[in-house]
């Protein structure tokens, strides 16, 4: 009887694993570690668009103020007081073809927003690109475990 229960238990466990929805190869949702490793960004659906918000910082406390890090590079004095934790980085990021989303990205390092495109390079790599006119630069974020 014990042998039959073990086989049944293993069969149920195997079915549960198979029944888990597979993460699509081009699904950008999830939590991503920036290329510099200093922040994690949670990407999720916001209606038809994508949102990307800061959910973890390597250095959440500003060493100069001993207070939580704020958006102090933002040229708008009011926005410069908002905390980095929870800050929305993707703005109006909408589908723009197969495995491509376009919109704006906010860069807290310089307080500016840029035209942006993201795509999933493989299930564990998100290509993030920001552009000023025709000049673009980017980095690759890795899926956080």
Q: Structure pTM?
A: 0.81
Average pLDDT over the chain reads 87
Q: At residue 120, does pLDDT exceed 80?
A: yes
Please give the sequence-ordered ranges of beta strands (E in DSSP) within 15-134, or none if there are none.
30-33, 39-46, 49-57, 61-62, 67-68, 90-95, 101-107, 112-122, 125-132
The SS3 of residue 80 is helix
The per-residue pLDDT for range 18-63, each reduced to its tens digit, is: 333 444 668 999 999 999 999 999 999 999 999 999 999 999 999 9
141 SS3 class: strand
Q: How many domains does the chain have?
A: 1
Asked whether residue 1 carries a pLDDT value surpassing 70, the answer given is: no
- Residue at 68 is within a domain: yes
CA angle 84, 122, 116 (to 5 degrees): 45
Which CATH number goes with the domain that contains 70? 2.40.128.520
Range of the domain at 56: 24-143
14 part of a folded domain: no
What residues are paired with 102 via a beta bridge? Answer: 94, 117
Average pLDDT of span 2-22: 38
Q: Is residue 107 part of a domain?
A: yes
Query: Is residue 73, in this structure, part of any structural domain at all?
Result: yes
């Amino acid at each position: 009887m014990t042998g039959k229960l073990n086989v049944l238990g293993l069969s149920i466990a195997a079915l549960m694993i198979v029944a888990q929805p597979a993460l699509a190869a081009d699904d950008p949702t999830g939590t991503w570690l920036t290329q510099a490793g200093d922040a994690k960004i949670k990407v999720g659906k916001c209606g038809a668009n994508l949102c990307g918000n800061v959910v973890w910082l390597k250095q959440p406390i500003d060493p100069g103020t001993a207070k939580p890090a704020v958006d102090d590079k933002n040229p708008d004095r009011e926005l410069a007081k908002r905390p980095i934790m929870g800050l929305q980085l993707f703005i109006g990021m909408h589908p723009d073809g197969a495995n491509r989303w376009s919109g704006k990205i906010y860069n807290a390092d310089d307080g500016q927003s840029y035209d942006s495109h993201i795509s999933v390079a493989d299930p564990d790599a998100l290509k993030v690109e920001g552009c000023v006119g025709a000049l673009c630069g980017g980095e690759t974020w890795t899926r956080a475990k």
